[in-house]
Amino acid sequence: MRRVKLDRIDRRILRDLQDDGRMTNVELAKRAGISAPPCLRRVRALEESGFIRGYHADIAPDALGFGVTVFAHVGLSSQAEADLNRFEALVDSWPMVRECHMLAGETDFLLKVVAPDWDAYQKFLTTQLTAAPNVSHVKSSLAIRTSKHRPGVPIDIDVADTD
């Protein structure tokens, strides 16, 4: 991975791509105040250095029949590194789990799970999640609604250059 020094233009490119990943290079360059070829070089450098991990479409879960979102707080019997890695690998194999975060504190992992309905989640919970090796307890929190969904991070383009 190549190291990239982020300047105001790089931060502007990152912010604009985060807001609209389908933006053309010409439009991106125009917003950044540079021509298209150096803009494309900067984008490639940001990709190669790991600042840009990928591009995706933001799909509406309801439109595809996933009407239920649950946050599952999972406790494990053992927190040995090998056990944590095995659990994370198992979670990665479950398509309904869209996010997995290891936490410090009372809960070992927080999983974001999408399901067509509550019954489908309960089936997943009882046949896969609580049946998984090393899982000691699961507390489920049903999301009622999402009032804010902003992927990524806040990017201030007017901060001093960083290394």
pLDDT, tens digit, for every residue of 114-129? 999 999 999 999 999 9
Q: 43 and 65 share a domain?
A: no
Domain annotation covers residue 116: yes
Q: 40 and 88 share a domain?
A: no
Q: What is the mean pLDDT of residues 71-86?
A: 98
Alpha carbon distance 72, 114 (integer Å): 11
Domain annotation covers residue 152: no
Q: In this structure, are residues 138 and 72 in contact, taking their beta carbons and an 8 Å threshold?
A: yes
Q: Does the structure show a pLDDT above 60 at 131? A: yes
Domain annotation covers residue 29: yes
Q: Does the structure show a pLDDT above 90 at 142? A: yes
Domains identified in the chain, total number: 2
Range of the domain at 94: 61-142
Tokens of 53: 């991990």
Q: 15 and 72 share a domain?
A: no
Q: 36 and 80 share a domain?
A: no
Domain with residue 91: its CATH number is 3.30.70.920
pLDDT at site 116: 98
Domain with residue 37: its CATH number is 1.10.10.10
Q: 44 and 109 share a domain?
A: no
Residues 6+ apart with CB under 8 A from 91: 97, 100, 109, 111
Coil, helix or strand at residue 24: coil
pLDDT at site 2: 56
Q: Determine what percent of the chain is predicted with pLDDT higher than 90.
A: 92
pLDDT at site 99: 98
Domain annotation covers residue 147: no
pLDDT, tens digit, for every residue of 93-114? 999 999 999 999 999 999 999 9
Q: Does the structure show a pLDDT above 60 at 147? A: yes
Q: What is the pTM of this model?
A: 0.87
Q: 40 and 93 share a domain?
A: no
